[in-house]
């Protein structure tokens, strides 16, 4: 009986995990990669594409491969997000490397819990300002974009039979998802969801962090 219950619990857990991955993780990651991962930005220092080359993350290849390599793409976004936040923290503390940080930190052992918390909150707020994250952003647009992307994914999933994607318009079959999408777009004028391209490059880091932090929070809430 106990064994049966733990098996059921395990199956429930696995089903929940699968659902979180397909409805939250994949659309969220696709959104981030479609918007911020651009080959054209390979020479822009600190862009996703430049960082991916710099730290040699060859397995990360952009929005078209997110579904097949979810975790690799997710880990890269987590690393870049943390790196931006840490870089901003160093900027606020006016240090250029970790060793210099020790001299700038207060003596935590003589601070009480209240002082400790206040120091942490003040610093976090400074960090949010430094990254322009306290400015108002357009939640509604992000919400709409995520929704259309998820709907599109569902539609394409329904065209899958075994290991092939079957075109509902002409009956051709495709083993590659990328080619299938190209076929739908070119032969049948299928409108694949396209993100609003009007992201001001000056605020690219702000927009990226805004989305990746919401994405992180959402994943944490469900996992």
Rg (CA), the chain: 22
Helix (H) or strand (E) holding 171: none
Structural tokens at position 136: 């108002």
Q: How far is the CB of 216 from Zn ion (least distance, A)?
A: 38
- HSE of 54, CA atoms in CB hemisphere, 13 A: 13
Beta strands, E only, the chain: 160-161, 164-166, 173-174
Q: How far is the CB of 215 from Zn ion (least distance, A)?
A: 33
DSSP-derived letter for residue 109 is G
Beta carbon nearer to Zn ion, 106 or 168: 168
Q: How far is the CB of 91 from Zn ion (least distance, A)?
A: 52
Beta carbon nearer to Zn ion, 78 or 167: 167
Beta carbon nearer to Zn ion, 191 or 200: 191
Contacts with Zn ion, residue ranges (CB under 5 A) = 167, 169-170, 172
Distances (CA, A) of 81 to 18, 28, 38, 169: 24, 14, 17, 41
Beta carbon nearer to Zn ion, 89 or 190: 190
Beta carbon nearer to Zn ion, 113 or 171: 171
Q: How far is the CB of 170 from Zn ion (least distance, A)?
A: 3
Q: How far is the CB of 50 from Zn ion (least distance, A)?
A: 37
SS3 content of the chain, % helix, strand, coil (to 5): 70, 5, 30
Beta carbon nearer to Zn ion, 73 or 165: 165
Give the three-class secondary structure for 1: coil
Q: How far is the CB of 184 from Zn ion (least distance, A)?
A: 7
Q: 81 near 213, Cβ under 8 Å?
A: yes
Instruction: Name beta bridge partners: 166.
Output: 173
Structural tokens at position 80: 């870049």
Q: 88 near 130, Cβ under 8 Å?
A: yes
């Amino acid at each position: 009986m106990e064994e049966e219950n733990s098996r059921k619990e395990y199956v429930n857990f696995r089903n929940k995990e699968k659902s979180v991955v397909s409805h939250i993780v994949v659309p969220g990651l696709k959104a981030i990669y479609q918007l911020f991962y651009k080959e054209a930005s390979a020479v822009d220092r600190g862009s996703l594409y430049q960082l991916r080359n710099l730290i040699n993350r060859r397995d990360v290849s952009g929005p078209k491969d997110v579904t097949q390599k979810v975790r690799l793409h997710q880990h890269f976004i987590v690393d870049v997000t943390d790196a931006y936040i840490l870089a901003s923290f160093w900027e606020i503390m006016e240090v250029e490397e970790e060793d210099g940080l020790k001299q700038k930190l207060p003596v935590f052992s003589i601070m009480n819990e209240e002082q400790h918390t206040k120091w942490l909150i003040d610093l976090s707020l400074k960090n949010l300002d430094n990254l322009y994250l306290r400015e108002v952003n357009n939640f509604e647009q992000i919400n709409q974009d995520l929704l259309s992307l998820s709907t599109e994914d569902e539609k394409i999933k329904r065209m899958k039979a075994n290991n092939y994607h079957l075109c509902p318009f002409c009956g051709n079959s495709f083993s590659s998802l990328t080619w299938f999408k190209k076929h739908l777009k070119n032969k049948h004028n299928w409108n694949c969801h396209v993100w609003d391209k009007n992201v001001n490059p000056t605020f690219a880091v702000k927009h990226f962090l805004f989305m990746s932090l919401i994405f992180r929070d959402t994943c944490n809430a469900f996992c």
